[in-house]
Structure 1
């Protein structure tokens, strides 16, 4: 009879996959059974999805098979969708079965948050996963092909509207300014006929960067054809437009993409966890409040920065560090040792503005602009690949080619 404790990890994003890998490194095979549950048989780099959506990289570059990086002799892979977590019964209900657990790690990622904007969920595309990103790429190209073949094409069909000027929105338009000239050449369409419009309710873009870097980013993107509509609240999203501002101005478009917000997985609320803005505010040791055996990581968790009285930013960098703390604490529980609290080692933030441009603030506030930032962004992306998949995946999928 198998009396080994069972550790079930839900989700193979940055936090979940890293947790499973670190558990195999910190625990001997006889110490625990490890199960990793994921909807797909692959992991995808969430921070690369804007490139897939714009069409500047192939979808397959942004993902790799779980079986290539997880030892099946150490981790049981279950490809299924989580329906509910029954905490009182220590049971996870899946679409095609169920699992019991002794320790549970919830790392189910994010869902789109439209903040109740009328019509947004129904009419806009969102960059959520590989499939949704590929759909955006295909739709944009379809608009070009349709424009070229129609006798009286709609001039607005070549307009691409992007709602939200946070990380994803700005990195997405940065890729679009690279992709649009390629599509114009392919379909013999004048570049001037294509509009890329970024709409943001706040007075500025990229709130995580200082004014100097924000100014550089805006100038760079505007010089390459991006139009910004700031301080412009989106009142409604119709099938082919945004209605914005107090005067209800309508901006028509053939492609509408919402990047303005995400929230934690809705399974959390359905399963009885206390939610704050879609996420669970976890304890310092990454456990859910009141739970001895449930850890919540990544986009599902608010981890408080006690010094500043607010949560740490929910980034891929943080998610990978959540995993380290979680794996160490599960090992500590198995060995009756004291648990550690999460410590965020902030290595900085870098945003791409296309293939050869970007901005960044790294280490002790060192600012980067232009090619140096773009190079650092590729270093960050490659580091993530290496941490999750090792040298094999880095060489196979990494951004190691020169500009």
Structure 2
């Protein structure tokens, strides 16, 4: 009797969790041994983290218990941290054990890309996890409390956000909404609070519709955000940031949202990478190892123009669906299908009741776009957990 194939999924981010959920729906019992490994017992919704980071949302709304999403009769969940991938041995080393596999799915997520800017890694905070956003929120509140004790320290009320991509723009929008509440709570003059959004590229939201970018920047500027576009951060120190033109912005809070790279374990394992990410083949496999699929932030998929798609939740979710299909096809000896990204639109929130978005050829802004953003969130919750999860997370 032949042995049941073993599938190990590393990471329960968008790509990993959708792969696991799809597998448990399609695979028959005892058709494969599927193991999902994640360092936390919850899946978190990365696209929502900007809200709890600013203090305008509850971190609990951004996370979902993994055991409420998977069928434990079909998927084994292992709460552990992967520390090494050994592709030639078909093994994964965990902090507390070893797993062997026939097929491996790498969905470990990315790491902050600092582009070699001195001090960013040591002194800037990142919106990357539930714990990191809790820290940022409490840090921001603490700055207001400290200012009341040291009113000459205006840097306590100066907030620098590096990067004006989706995360940066959405975070400054929420932070600008939170500031009036904090000023009232701590009896602080709102005019003393400064929020800087610094971007090295010549525009905010690079690649987004220019007309909507202009609208979004005006909305945020009216909320008090100070933009420095086409301006690189040269160095980050405990006292603030040095930017192009040798201007120093004294700030006790620096949040870096300027980019991500793939997980370091891919480099360590000998995969061919670009900024820690693997350019996968048409079926989402590593070109070096046909039994290893790579999804999410760790993968690179090229668009028809030959440029990499940005690593978004939307593409990772679609990769998870395709990856599960191809795993089942491989086990059953059927042809694999090529991954084709279908852009269902993009929406960026600008804080309370404001957003910008593009769906097909249609542009949305303001309240309508903010409703669209909520619908996008609801759709994802429905994909992974159905109506019960949508209701439980209070999205209606």
TM-score when normalising by structure 2: 0.98
CA shift for structure 1 position 189: 1.1
Q: CA shift at 1:398, angstroms?
A: 4.0
Match in the other structure for 2:333: 336
Q: How does 1:174-253 map to 2 (within 5 A)?
A: 174-246=173-245, 248-253=246-251
The whole-number CA distance in structure 2 between the counterparts of 1:338 and 1:312 is 25
- Kindly tell me: are residues 125 and 151 of structure 1, through their superposed partners in 2, closer, same or farther at Cα, counting changes over 3 Å? closer
**Alpha-carbon contact 2:271-2:288 (below 8 Å) kept:** no
Deviation for aligned residue 1:330: 0.8
Taking the aligned partners of 2:301 and 2:94, their CA distance within structure 1 comes to 27
Q: Distance in 1 between matches of 2:150 and 2:66?
A: 47
Note the C-alpha offset of 1:2. Answer: 8.4
- Counterpart CA distance in 2 for 1:23 and 1:97 is 24
Give 1:355 shift: 2.0
How far has the Cα of 1:208 moved from its partner?
2.4
- Secondary structure of residue in 2 paired with 1:304: coil
1:355 partnered with 2:347: no
Maintained 8 Å contact 2:112/2:260: yes
Matched with 1:383 is 379
Q: What is residue 27 of structure 1 aligned with on the other side?
A: 27
* Contact map agreement 1:348 1:365 (CA 8 A) in 2: no
Distance (whole Å) between structure 1 residues aligned to residue 352 and residue 379 of structure 2: 18
- After superposition, residues 257-272 of structure 1 pair within 5 angstroms as 257-272=255-270
> Match for residue 104 of structure 2?
104
How far off is 1:313 after superposition?
2.3
Q: Deviations over 1:214-234 (max 9, x none)?
A: 110110000010000112111
Residue 152 (structure 1) shift? 3.9
- Aligned equivalents of 1:263, 1:152: Cα separation in 2: 39
Q: Is 1:373–2:369 an aligned residue pair?
A: yes
Kindly indicate whether the alpha-carbon contact (under 8 Å) linking 1:11 and 1:38 is maintained by their aligned counterparts in 2.
yes
Verify the 8 A CA contact 1:69 1:389 in the aligned structure 2.
yes
Partner of 1:113: 113
**Which segments of structure 1 move beyond 6 Å, counting only runs of 4 or more?**
none
Give ranges in structure 2 of 5+ residues lacking alignment.
Answer: none
1:225 and 1:390 map into 2 onto residues whose CA distance is: 39
Aligned residues between the structures = 396
1:313 matched to 2:310: yes
Q: In structure 1, what is the equivalent of residue 159 of structure 2?
A: 160
Q: Does 1:346 align with 2:343?
A: yes
Question: CA separation in 2, counterparts of 1:131 and 1:103?
Answer: 31
Secondary structure of the 1:89 match is: coil
2-structure distance, mates of 1:240, 1:392: 47
Give, in whole Å, the separation in 2 of the partners of 1:186 and 1:2.
Answer: 67
Q: CA RMSD in A?
A: 1.2
C-alpha distance in 1, partners of 2:373/2:70? 26
In the superposition, the TM-score normalised over structure 1's length comes to 0.96
List per-residue Cα deviations over 1:138-191 (Å, max 9, x = no partner): 00000011112x154411211111011111100000110111111111111121
Shift of residue 290 of structure 1? 2.7
Deviation at 1:394, TM superposition (A): 1.0
Range with bigger deviation, 96-105 or 180-189: 180-189
SS across alignment from 2:8: strand
- The structural deviation recorded for 1:350 is 0.4
Distance 1:13 1:178 in 2: 28
1:240–1:256 contact (8 Å) kept in structure 2: no
Structure 1: gaps of 5 or more residues: none
Give me the whole-angstrom Cα distance separating, in 1, the residues matched to 2:141 and 2:262. 31
Q: Cα distance, 1:284 vs. partner?
A: 0.5
Offset, 1:201: 1.1
- SS of 2:88's partner is helix
Alpha-carbon distance in 2 for matches of 1:113, 1:399: 32
